Amino acid sequence: MRAFGALMFALAAICFTACGRAPADTANSNVERSAAVSPFASLTDAAAAMAEGDRLFDENNTELAIEAYKRAVEIDPELAEAYFKLGIAYGLLEKEKMQAGGAEILPGEVTKEQDAKKPDSVKMFEKAVASYKKQLAANADNAAAYFNLGRAYNKLNKDEEAEDALERASKLEPKNIEYLTELGAIRIKLAKYREAMAALKKALEIDPDNPEATDLYETAEAGAKRVEFSGPKIDANKAPGANTAANTADANIASNTAAPANKPVERPTPPPPSSRPNQPPPAQPAAPKSKKGDIAPLPQRPKPVN
């Protein structure tokens, strides 16, 4: 009986302890669950979530703005604008981390090993590119989609692709100052200064007082002048006067190797006579032959001396 009583007492103690801990454990799990839930979970409209994210971002509350933008893509997974703004917001946080001593991974091509460490900003810009491409697949005349696609490519440092997208946007809306200005900026980045000036000139013709277009035009003009001042490299063989210079150089070489004027010219020494003995005398020319029928004259004998 005593053993049975002790066993019942132990079971009661265990039950009491478990019942006492249950409320605390439940409370902790509820706190963790509430922390994992987005503060904007009550929002059911993507546009409202975007507006809330923009407000928080303007107030420099970047982390909460990210939560609002994430809620927007939860509601609409194809919302390219939300991905683009997530890339901007994540980029600011990553820049702060880098300034604090963290490492930076630049956008662009990465290996499989680096892909796991790819910054969130790069991932968001890549998602934005994919979403804008889907929009263009549905409507090839969507100038805004081309414009935003170009901006996303620019953030990924894919400058040639960015220029192509921005050029398409400007062709679809040739009087859009924002499109022309962005096109001029990416061409400056590519060192295409004359092409940049052409796009920015069109923007200034529409709005002569546009400060951004004015500043970019001056930058492009200065870049074009630098290129023209340095000038292209000229082949020395094709340069003007190259033949004259070459002839002058040849003449100088000849004058350096020629004998001085006051020095007598050395004549060549004749070769020594042949050392072979009993060398026969040179052959005498043969007597002229007489014509056919003619009698050759006999040689005259010498007259006797009296």
Q: Over the stretch 33-65, which tens digit does the pLDDT of each residue have?
A: 434 577 899 999 999 999 999 999 999 999 999
Q: What six digits make up the tokens of 79?
A: 């919302």
Q: Residue 154: what pLDDT?
A: 98
- Rg of the chain on CA atoms, in Å: 49
pLDDT band at 141 (very low <50, low <70, confident <90, very high): very high
Q: Per-residue pLDDT tens for 68-120?
A: 999 999 999 999 999 999 999 999 999 999 888 755 555 555 555 555 689 99
| Alpha-carbon distance values, 242 to 94, 158, 204, 247, 255 (Å) | 57, 43, 46, 9, 20
pLDDT in tens, 177-216: 999 999 999 999 999 999 999 999 999 999 999 999 999 9
Predicted local distance difference test score (pLDDT) of residue 200: 98
Tokens of 89: 């917001």
Residue 113: half-sphere exposure toward Cβ, Cα within 13 Å: 0
Task: Say whether 108 sits in a helix, a strand or coil.
Answer: coil
> Which residue blocks in 37-79 are alpha helix, DSSP H?
46-58, 62-75
- Statement: residue 169 has pLDDT above 90: yes
pLDDT of residue 99: 85
- Number of Cβ within a 10 Å radius of residue 298: 6
Which tokens sit at 200?
């920015």
Give me the helices (H) in 207-277, please.
211-230, 242-257
Say if CB 152 and CB 84 are below 8 A apart.
yes
The tokens for 109 are 């091509």
Q: Calculate the average pLDDT of the chain.
A: 77
**Between residues 264 and 72, which one has the greater pLDDT?**
72
Percent of the chain with pLDDT over 70: 58
CB atoms within 10 A of CB 5: 9
pLDDT beyond 50 at 261: no
Full set of structural domains in the chain with CATH: 45-104+118-128 (1.25.40.10), 140-230 (1.25.40.10)
pTM of the full predicted structure? 0.62
Q: What pLDDT shows up at residue 80? A: 97
The token pair at 58 is 């303007």
Residue 251: how many other CB atoms lie within 10 Å: 10
Q: Return the H-helix or E-strand segment holding 181.
A: helix 177-189
Question: Tokens 């982390």 map to which residue?
Answer: 63
Integer Cα distance of 165 and 148 in angstroms: 8
151: tokens are 């901006």
SS3 content of the chain, % helix, strand, coil (to 5): 65, 0, 35
> What angle separates helix 143-155 from helix 159-172, to the nearest 10 degrees?
160
Q: What is the pLDDT of residue 122?
A: 97
CA distance 211 to 10: 83
